[in-house]
Structure 1
């Protein structure tokens, strides 16, 4: 006899249904659903976006322009703002009324500070909100909720060298040693003799925060005092590409003329910052780009920009801006002898979807991106007629003292995804768990273990 759903089940179902409906709104409805929005009054902006330079230098303004177009506005243009790394986006209604949006790109931390003091409507961040920031903004609501934390794109931190540098791959530990000043000459890594010169983003940068978390913090290291610091991603990249002994870290769209090296973490194979590996967040230095808003935003332009960023047209702008869109695609994976036999057979016969489901830290609950990805995957399966007996879920986890337990836990994660999609009519071909096989990050740190706890989706 089937058991009655528990309160937890009912809550999960309620939240999932709400997110699936939201996903349908974002993915299926035409842009005409973005109702007419108010114009500027007295030359004041209708929306203020503050924070990450990675987002604010190009992606944020391009999304605003796209929203202007969706609104049917004309004479869309940008002009310099009051300070460096600030700009104003302007457009006109057919009746001549002006619309102004201001974008300030001084680093992720400045976005949260601006939300707190009321000088911004949206915070752009290239890293998740910190505990202290979430606490300071608690009066606005839960900034970690699915209504407030919006993943608008995926990016990868590229480790860049001068094009003449012969080094093609580095481990995360080697990158940490370089930027901490523990490796001071390229000959120590098999490169051409010469002192290593470091280029880094400034302290306000979400890119720097992400680099510290992923590279420096696991070994308790700090950035070497001699590193040159930059507020602008473009200027940093150009400096590295002009210095044969230089090394820097940068968001994917800003590689420009520099050379990006492949990166390995723990026992993983070296991975280049490729579109596929970043989309699935397997690349060791992949990261999410966020917009944060009040859970119940009182500015209609803020809600409209969020909805537009999640829409197909918004994600096309993400792609055109050099970041990785969250559009689900099927990709071929080359089988290799290092793969477990069952996984290699899957690679030979099926295709992997360009999304991984991941889980909240210390929880079996899907994180905010994964909750939205439910709608994206369901939409893909419907459009490609793969709802019935065409889908395989493969769960992975971190190493345990008991391999059988690791395998069980990985399968339970796959079952958690199965439960949510099955409620929407998906019938699965197979559900399996591979335990700690095929790690994408080191299991020695919490961050790496969380990245290894994932569920892949494959389709026949």
Structure 2
């Protein structure tokens, strides 16, 4: 009876297969083509959340669409850096460089000219936009591109029995005020904290959505990581550990349900992240300088927004922006009109949100108008089949809150009407059904939304 393969055997087989593959590539494509790496046609710097998996996958997809062949990836000069190479129709090597050292590094690289495109797992900051103002408005529709939706997952060891926490409890844990699992109603003794590093957009998002709202700072005892996957591996190996990662890096750990303010506790599930209702949902961005002439940068942005690019987003563990209809379970505590929708209609996997301080649709919402139009056309729902429901944050006068929420829905109606949509109803429910706490401006902005329902 043949013996089972040992780890050593598998390693030898792996090396042998790698050598065979290398030999084939050298035979089919002369190695001299790749020996001296060509000047990069596109340089990307920024988020590790994007750069670890999604960025390279989108670049490879874009290269295929551009007709390149023999596309392969090799390590860069430092950890979390890669070169992606392919051959064009004349057999000339084309290279894209990608460095994933944190969102803030992308904006620095845009400014000093060492990158053509910045990948970020958070919106550009005011100071960064000001530093780059000489190149134009980095918050303009063409410069700021939402390529995917992600959710910060709060992760534990799989055996930890805790199931849910509020954002206030999370802040107390990560600032070190709550020191043991027993204080949270669990068990396990001392809590071990794991966090991303200061360059990370993931950390910036956690700091903004959790720590800063409570006026707190991360405990100095937290172990810091540049990589989401390495942080996840550390937590999944530590029964006393807790950390936060992007959705694609939960891996062997287990995610907690999170509540913010009066919202229900929510797991980082695809539908709740797609609508950005999950309290720790966030957007992933590509930023290019306004008027950028690099054709590869423009090609990558266009590909990332395409159905094929969004399929790659989905395949790599993030949430695509393609529109789907979702059945929502009717609940007794819902307003009657909303409960009727939940009973008889389906909700689309998108929320329209607005620029801060006004009723203008934000950059993602402007692109989502076309996505919703395409969906309604494809499903034959342009006439009297769609309902818009507006929501907002509390006002001293409840009637004012209801009016403002309806005005937001009417702003969306105007955009959809340009595409030939005749809506069944437009309504506003004021400050009902919040998805975030109204105690901070970020939460109030998230509550100012318009949902789309279809019959």
TM-score (norm 2): 0.92
Aligned positions of 1:201-240 closer than 5 A:
201-240=196-235
Aligned to 2:372, the other structure's residue is in SS state helix
Task: Give distance in 1, aligned partners of 2:320 and 2:136.
Answer: 28
- Please list the CA deviations of residues 261-293 of structure 1 after superposition, one character each: whole Å capped at 9, or x if unmatched: 100000000000000000000000000000000
- TM-superposed deviation, 1:421: 0.8
Mind listing any 5+ residue stretches in structure 1 that lack a counterpart?
1-38
Task: Give distance in 2, aligned partners of 1:363 and 1:57.
Answer: 36
Match of 1:324 in 2: 319
- Please list the CA deviations of residues 200-251 of structure 1 after superposition, one character each: whole Å capped at 9, or x if unmatched: 0000000000000000001110000000000011100000000011000000
2:359 equivalent to 1:364: yes
Match of 1:454 in 2: 449
Aligned positions of 1:169-184 closer than 5 A:
169-184=164-179
- TM-superposed deviation, 1:97: 0.6
Select 1:301's aligned residue among 283, 296, 310: 296
Match of 2:161 in 1: 166
Task: Give distance in 2, aligned partners of 1:147 and 1:114.
Answer: 19
Match of 1:35 in 2: none
Aligned positions of 1:71-90 closer than 5 A:
71-90=66-85
Task: Give distance in 2, aligned partners of 1:132 and 1:283.
Answer: 28
CA contact (8 A) 2:188 2:239 kept: no
Match of 2:368 in 1: 373
Match of 2:239 in 1: 244
CA contact (8 A) 2:195 2:231 kept: yes
- TM-superposed deviation, 1:164: 0.9
Aligned to 1:428, the other structure's residue is in SS state coil
- Please list the CA deviations of residues 126-174 of structure 1 after superposition, one character each: whole Å capped at 9, or x if unmatched: 0000001001001111000001000000000000011111110000000
2:106 equivalent to 1:146: no
Task: Give distance in 2, aligned partners of 1:49 and 1:133.
Answer: 17
- TM-superposed deviation, 1:193: 3.8
- TM-superposed deviation, 1:42: 7.2
Task: Give distance in 2, aligned partners of 1:115 and 1:230.
Answer: 24
Aligned to 2:423, the other structure's residue is in SS state strand
Match of 1:338 in 2: 333
Task: Give distance in 1, aligned partners of 2:286 and 2:348.
Answer: 25
Task: Give distance in 2, aligned partners of 1:361 and 1:429.
Answer: 28
- TM-superposed deviation, 1:99: 0.6
Q: Which moved more, 1:93-102 or 1:343-352?
A: 93-102
Match of 2:418 in 1: 423
CA contact (8 A) 2:136 2:289 kept: yes
Task: Give distance in 2, aligned partners of 1:388 and 1:164.
Answer: 51
* Shift >2 Å, 4+ stretches: 39-42
Match of 1:15 in 2: none
TM-score (norm 1): 0.91
Task: Give distance in 2, aligned partners of 1:435 and 1:442.
Answer: 15
- TM-superposed deviation, 1:325: 0.3
Task: Give distance in 1, aligned partners of 2:125 and 2:327.
Answer: 36
Mind listing any 5+ residue stretches in structure 2 that lack a counterpart?
1-32
- Please list the CA deviations of residues 304-355 of structure 1 after superposition, one character each: whole Å capped at 9, or x if unmatched: 0000000000000000010000001111111111211110110111110000
Task: Give distance in 1, aligned partners of 2:327 and 2:371.
Answer: 19
2:394 equivalent to 1:399: yes
2:331 equivalent to 1:310: no
2:182 equivalent to 1:187: yes
Match of 1:34 in 2: none
Number of residue equivalences: 422
CA contact (8 A) 2:37 2:95 kept: no
Give the greater-gyration-radius structure (CA).
Answer: 2
Q: CA RMSD in A?
A: 1.2
CA contact (8 A) 2:259 2:266 kept: yes
Task: Give distance in 2, aligned partners of 1:416 and 1:71.
Answer: 38
Aligned to 1:226, the other structure's residue is in SS state coil
Match of 1:270 in 2: 265
Select 1:129's aligned residue among 124, 148, 171: 124
